[in-house]
Amino acid sequence: MYPTKYHKPASIADAVAALNGGDEAMLLSGGQTLLATMKQHLAAPSDLVDIRGIAGLSGISANGNELTIGATTTHAEVAGNVDVRRLCPALADLASGIGDTAVRNMGTIGGSIANNDPAADYPAGLLALNATIVTNTREISADDFFEGLFATALDEGEIITAVRVPAPSKAAYAKFAQPASLFALVGVFVADSGSGVRVAVTGAGEDGVFRHAGLEAALTGSMGDASIDAVDISDGNLISDIHGASDYRAHLISVMAKRAVLSL
């Protein structure tokens, strides 16, 4: 790795100062992606600002039908949390399928969505659940937050502090893992808020996570796997790589959507 300077601020203000103080400073949370990237010399931040020492950024609370998940809450914590299990078990299931046990013990929800890997699981969950991403400066709807491959609405110096997730009336996530990395080759999250169905797809889109209008319309009309058969899943703008061509991914979107619906 290239040399870097490590900071562990105790407050958001100090974190922002450290971020702005370095030439190419980056936030560090669980580090499960960033440190691997640094090892391969694909990232060389001048400074690493570790936000795990900031009080209040970790932990999960439930307020009525809404979950608030701190940015540095680990995947393992989300997977095992009683409130998440009660209000949105699909999100706990999603978290329990990220990486492996050791990765889940370190990786965080804030880190995952800030990175917005096109094959990450959380973006699909938060987008389908119509979550709100809370930062040190504002609140951003998931629809606005995820902008494309590794791209988000976050500004320079902006730090995710929490994610707010309204409990759906029912939701489910079905993932077909890329066999080597265990990231999603295709992951489909279906959430029925009670007033409408949102379907988000990860792993497949050339522009990262996306909502599938056709599936949403079909399932809003009639929630059942038969509805999915009638939906034309275009392979336009889907990824083709050594693990799956776009037509296979399109097919898997349909299959995973059905599996999600059947497990609702």
Partner 1 sequence: MSSGIGASVKRKEDKRFTTGKGKYTDDVRNDNQAYAAFVRSPHAHARVKGIDTSAAMAMDGVIDVLNGQQLTGDGIGNIICGWAITSKDGSPMNMGAWSALATEKVRYVGDAVAVVIAETQALARIAAEAVDVDYEELPVAASVLTSMKDGAPQIHENAPGNQIYDWELGDEAAADAGLASATHITSLDLTNNRLSPNPMEPRSAVAKYDDAEDHYTLYTTSQNPHVARLVLSAFYNVAPEHKLRVIAPDVGGGFGAKIYIYPEEITCLWASMKTNRSVKWTSDRSEAFITDAHGRDHVTSAKMGFDDAGKIVGFKVDTIANIGAYMSLFSSSVPTYLYAPLLSGQYNIQNIHCNVRTYYTNTVPVDAYRGAGRPEATYLVERMMETAAREMGMDPAELRRRNFIQEFPHQTPVLMQYDAGDFPKILEMAQETADVAGFPARRAEAEARGKLRGIGYSTFIEACGLAPSKAAGSLGAGVGLWESAEVRVNPVGSIEILTGSHSHGQGHETTFAQVVADRFGVPIENVQIVHGDTDKVQFGMGTYGSRSGPVGMSAVAKALDKVEAKVRKIAAHALEASEDDIVIEGGEVKVAGTDKSMAWHEVGLAAYIAHNLPEGMEPGLKESAFFDPVNFSFPSGAFICEVEVDPDTGTTEIVQFTSADDFGTIINPMIVEGQVHGGVTQGIGQALLEQVVYDEDGQLLNGSYMDYTMPRAADVPSFHVQHHETPSPNNPLGVKGCGEAGAIGSPPAVINAITDAIGTNDLAMPATPQAVWRAIQAGAKSVAAE
Partner 2 sequence: MTSINMNVNGKAVSGDVPDETLLSEFLREHLRLTGTHIGCDTSQCGACVVHIDGKAVKSCSTLAVSLEGAEVTTIEGLANGDLHPMQVAFNDNHGLQCGFCTPGMIMSGVDMVKRYKAEGKDLTSDAIRAELEGNICRCTGYHNIVKSIEDAAAKM
| φ, ψ for residue 204, nearest 5 deg | -110, -30
Sheet holding 5-7, edge to edge: 5-7, 47-50, 25-28
Partner that binds at residue 243, options partner 1, partner 2, none, CB closer than 5 to 8 Å by kind: partner 1
User: Which residues does 201 contact at the CB level (< 8 Å), separation at least 6?
Assistant: 124, 186, 187, 188, 189, 209, 210, 211, 212, 253
Tokens 């993932």 belong to 175
Partner that binds at residue 149, options partner 1, partner 2, none, CB closer than 5 to 8 Å by kind: none
**Nearest distance, CB of residue 3 and partner 2, angstroms:** 6
96 part of the interface to partner 1, by CB under 8 A: no
Is 209 within 8 Å of 125 (Cβ atoms)? no
What letter represents residue 44's amino acid?
A: A
103 part of the interface to partner 1, by CB under 8 A: no
Burial class (CB in 10 A: 0-12, 13-18, 19+), 89: middle
- Can you tell me which of 96, 251, 263, 264 binds partner 1, judged by CB under 8 A? 251
163 part of the interface to partner 1, by CB under 8 A: no
Partner that binds at residue 32, options partner 2, partner 1, none, CB closer than 5 to 8 Å by kind: partner 2
243 part of the interface to partner 1, by CB under 8 A: yes
List residues binding partner 2 (CB under 8 A): 1-6, 8, 28, 31-32, 35-36, 38-40, 48, 50, 52, 76, 99-103, 105-106, 180-182
Q: Which residues bind partner 1 (CB under 8 A)?
A: 1-2, 39-41, 176, 179-181, 242-245, 248, 251-252, 255
